[in-house]
Amino acid sequence: MKRDTFLKILTILLLCFCWIDVIWGQISQGGQPYSFKTNLKGFDGKDIVEIKKNIPIITMLPIEEIVFDSIKQNNLLYENYQFAYGFNVSIDVKKSAVVDSLDIGLLYRLSIKSNGAKSINLIFKKYILPRGARLFIYNKNKQYIIGAFTSNNNKQSEKLPTLPVLGEEIIIEYFEPYFPDFSGQLVIGKVNHDFMGLNLIINDTIRDAGSCHVNINCSPEGDNWQTEKRAVCKIIISGTGLCSGTLLNNTNQDGVPYFLTANHCVNSQSVAEECLFIFNYESSACNGNNGSAVHSISASTLRATNYQSDFTLLEFSHKPLSSWNPYYAGWDRNNLQEAGGVCIHHPKGDVKKISTYSMIPITSYCISGYSQNNFYLIDKWIATPNGHGVTEGGGSGSPLFNNAHRVIGQLYGGCSNHNDNCNNPLNDYSNYGKLCISWDLGGNSNNQLKNWLDPISSNETFLDGANVCSQGMTESLNLSHTIDSGVVEIYQVNKNIHSMDTLKTGAKVSYEAGKDIVLISGFIAEYGSDFIASVQPFNCVQGCHPMSLQIINTYFSSGGNLCFTQTNANSYSLKMMTLSGQLAFQQTGSTNTFQVCVPIPVNLGIGAYIVTLTLYSDCEELSETYTAINLSKRLTTLDKNTDVFVSNFDEKKTEIEDNEFEGFDFEIFPNPSDGNVSINIVSGFLHAYSVEVINATGKLIYKIENFNEKTIKINNIRFPAGIYFIRLNNGENIRTKKLIIL
């Protein structure tokens, strides 16, 4: 059960003296490969001057030009568009790689090369990673990086398809912590050689689709379709093919990520497991060619498919993150439609396009052997101010929207009518499998849409689309607690609120529910409390909100705390291992606050430990592995609930003079301070930096490492009144300034 409160929001703002890595791209964790870092340490704690340079290279066999020519010819005949040639391989990364020993784990690196490839993507046929492990893939010049992939990417199929990485040679870098829950397995099953330049499209170099197409963000064509466009995705199929499709809403409106595409694109579970779905791949400019592929989901489950109306319904392996701003499109299963609508698609894998029609969709006979009523035909796309949108290969599976902005079918292609594409846009013919036919085609859930898109058997003939609910909004709430005077609380739920709350005088409470608010016997609103209740349709679905994690202290004492900050997690697990491989301590708990402190046993021995900390939510998992040191001596704390420790710096004096360095400066305000301090970087914010607090005798009493925000807020400092020095170190320059606490 979650709730939004103004007080919680204020608390989060006050506690933000350090910030976090946010999960991004292909539901990956982000971050930097270990080999890129300059301060690596070995298992013995000593600095590693240089990791091994000689990385093994596995080179693919040459591909004859006749193979490429054959594929390109087929692309003219079929609607699923192939951009790469796939090598079937079996490469065990851990067995083939060079290995380096770091302070917290082993680093494996392996290079794969395919001469002449414009980009390379991989499909792991066995991907099973323990918590704390990280996988990165990058090109030789280290300018294009994807990852980190973690245990969060483990799937029942054990497969993982990856995005293309620019260039003919890529490096696979895998980190596994010492003493993992189990030994990770990484076996590559397919290496895909891009010969068409798909990744060049991603990097704003070429425009592959016909010149007559209209970008989705052109005005006026895309003005009224900015909501629906967020449901349309580009698909990379088995690392070699391209199609399009749509995220759909269902009558339960529970955010299950059902995705509609074409049967001739995906029609088996094995292929569904090798699909990659890219959201928001579009240009912000009307004439732009660039798109970003960082919002992507790998793998899916086949729910239903039928060649007779050429539809496939998939379920993503993961909900799209709410930060991507996804939209669950509505649908209409009526056969008769009014005039006008659009198709939103990715022709030839290009950035998102829009094609406009003004005719009434007519029934198409399509190809011989298909039912005469299973397809809509659009035989007249209209010219618009910025072009004359049509359809092309790579757009297969893309949605046909009616004038009510609901999906009525998915693109098959030209059928028996010749599709001239941009060569002759006036005569472009496009056939779409009817959603109304796919609804109850075939008689069972494996080959029809009804059971999935209408799980509550509402028999609705249409459903509107929905956005993802804002953070903190839940499906339903059962409330029973006391809300004190002076507290402001807002509860927003998509469905029902049942409350036995006690509202004290001076409390301010608002209930906003999508369906019902029920005040159960025992509910009390005392005189002088402010209670507002309203029922309003939120028309949103439950999403997956990105988690974040920041370690606060890596030094502690027996009986002290290890602390971290988090967002959107429900629970955590923490495991501490000795350097000899013995389990020293483990703990699980809830994360109902922004800052969480894990109490450490008083009998824990002095020394270094390898810590793996994992956060969990309803749809995510996020891990961090690091070294923590038990010094046994408690130092000054910033907060009564937080113990922050440093190394044995307090045993020696620290230089406190203010060194002048150009290009790196900060300000402290207010100064003098009553214990609430803000530190703001005013120049030189290029790298992460450390923050140190030094007392008047030169002792280091507080330290934050690897901070990467421009502003730090430290509140309720419990240092005695006096003179202190704040020192910031960004790895290149050091600045020190005086702070007076009254």
Helices (H) and strands (E) in the chain, counts: 7, 57
3-state secondary structure (DSSP) of residue 281 = coil
Rounded Cα distance, 393 and 415, in Å: 13
Known active-site residue 470: no
* Identified catalytic residue from 310, 428, 454, 643: 310
Q: Count the Cβ atoms, other than its own, within 10 Å of residue 353.
A: 33
Residues composing the chain: 742
| Tokens found for residue 600 | 């450490």
* Identified catalytic residue from 264, 295, 346, 388: 264
- For 141-203, the DSSP string reads TS--EEEEE-GGG--TT--EE---EESSEEEEEEEEESS-SS--EEEEEEEEEESS-HHHHHT
Rounded Cα distance, 222 and 344, in Å: 10
3-state secondary structure (DSSP) of residue 246 = strand
Q: Count the Cβ atoms, other than its own, within 10 Å of residue 475.
A: 15
Rounded Cα distance, 324 and 292, in Å: 12
Residue 66 DSSP class: H
* Identified catalytic residue from 111, 244, 396, 398: 396
- For 578-627, the DSSP string reads ETTS-EEEEEEEE--SSEEEEEPPTTPPSEEEEEEEEEE-SS-EEEEEEE
Known active-site residue 678: no
3-state secondary structure (DSSP) of residue 484 = coil
Which parts of 23-128 fold into alpha helices (H)? Answer: 65-77, 93-96
Beta bridge partners of 482: 502
Rounded Cα distance, 28 and 12, in Å: 25
Q: To 5 degrees, how large is the angle CA 499–CA 505–CA 509?
A: 40
Which parts of 233-375 fold into alpha helices (H)? Answer: 269-272
Known active-site residue 310: yes
- Which residues belong to the active site? 264, 310, 396
